[in-house]
């Protein structure tokens, strides 16, 4: 029997494709092995197991995602940059729902998985210059980025999970949300009551 030519990268890529088609929760070694026409234990020569494969998919997705966002925002500023990033965000999630879902669970549990954490944060840091472009105070940066991420992730997650009911008007709703974000960042209250608890914490 000829070798199947598996590699860690090929296995991860195929797993990611499977996630996009069937959902991240349906990822299984059995399904991946079937796609390659190999026996399940063969995969262990290339990946550490199901959990490891999930992490691999998540890391690859984080890299892809960060790149897509970065490319979208390049050469744009302020509202245009935010609009482009938001569109890229949603487009990525819709084109790669399984990868996007994987990305979420790539969030670092404190104390472990430092390597994954680094990759994950890179996919978040892309938003920093975009938000900075609105000229906000540094103390507000983390809160604002968290707000932007919340809005985008929430919309995309609800959309993907069918939480919006019938899909009619979802594109328009997204435009509305993005424009609301633009106004929010433009009119940010530099020293409003909302800052009372801001302590410039880590993360974001």
Partner DNA sequence: CAGGCGGAGCTAATAGGATTAGCTTTCTGG
Partner DNA sequence: CCAGAAAGCTAATCCTATTAGCTCCGCCTG
79 scored as a contact of its own copies (CB under 8 A): no
Vertex 48, ends 107 and 55: CA angle to 5°? Answer: 15
Q: Which CB atom, from 13 or from 78, has the smaller least distance to DNA? A: 13
| Integer Cα distance of 174 and 154 in angstroms | 11
The piece of 60-68, 91-99, 125-133, 171-179 that touches its own copies (CB under 8 A) is: 171-179
Structural tokens at position 44: 């262990």
Vertex 203, ends 198 and 204: CA angle to 5°? Answer: 75
Question: Which one of 2, 3, 162, 191 is in contact with its own copies (CB under 8 A)?
Answer: 162
153 scored as a contact of DNA (CB under 7 A): no
The piece of 38-46, 84-92, 116-124, 188-196 that touches DNA (CB under 7 A) is: 38-46
Which among DNA, its own copies, none contacts residue 42 (Cβ within 5 to 8 A by kind)? DNA
Structural tokens at position 99: 């990868």
x-marked contacts with DNA along 46-65 as a string, rule CB under 7 A: x--xxx--------------
Question: Which one of 13, 17, 38, 149 is in contact with DNA (CB under 7 A)?
Answer: 38
Distance set, CA 89 to CA 40, 73, 84, 109, 132 (Å): 34, 11, 8, 23, 18
Q: Which CB atom, from 6 or from 86, has the smaller least distance to its own copies? A: 86
Q: Which residues contact 186 (CB under 8 A, 6 or more apart)?
A: 79, 134
Question: Which one of 43, 66, 73, 140 is in contact with its own copies (CB under 8 A)?
Answer: 140
Structural tokens at position 103: 């990305």
Footprint on this chain of DNA (rule: CB under 7 A): 1-6, 28-31, 37-42, 44-46, 49-51
């Amino acid at each position: 029997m000829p070798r199947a030519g598996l590699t860690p990268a090929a296995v991860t890529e195929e797993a990611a494709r499977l996630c996009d088609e069937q959902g991240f929760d349906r990822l299984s070694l059995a399904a991946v092995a079937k796609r390659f026409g190999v026996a399940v234990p063969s995969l262990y020569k290339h990946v550490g197991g199901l959990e490891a494969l999930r992490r691999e998919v998540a890391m690859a997705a984080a890299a892809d995602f960060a790149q897509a966002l970065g490319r979208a925002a390049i050469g744009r500023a302020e509202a245009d940059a935010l609009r482009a990033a938001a569109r890229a965000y949603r487009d990525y999630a819709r084109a790669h729902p399984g990868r996007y879902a994987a990305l979420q669970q790539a969030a670092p549990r404190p104390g472990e998985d430092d390597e994954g954490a680094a990759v994950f944060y890179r996919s978040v840091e892309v938003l920093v210059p975009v938000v900075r472009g609105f000229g906000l105070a540094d103390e507000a940066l983390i809160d604002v980025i968290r707000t932007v991420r919340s809005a985008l992730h929430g919309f995309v997650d609800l959309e993907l999970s069918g939480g919006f009911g019938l899909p009619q008007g979802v594109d328009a709703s997204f435009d509305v949300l993005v424009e609301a974000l633009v106004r929010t960042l433009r009119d940010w209250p530099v020293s409003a009551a909302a800052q009372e608890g801001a302590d410039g914490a880590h993360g974001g």
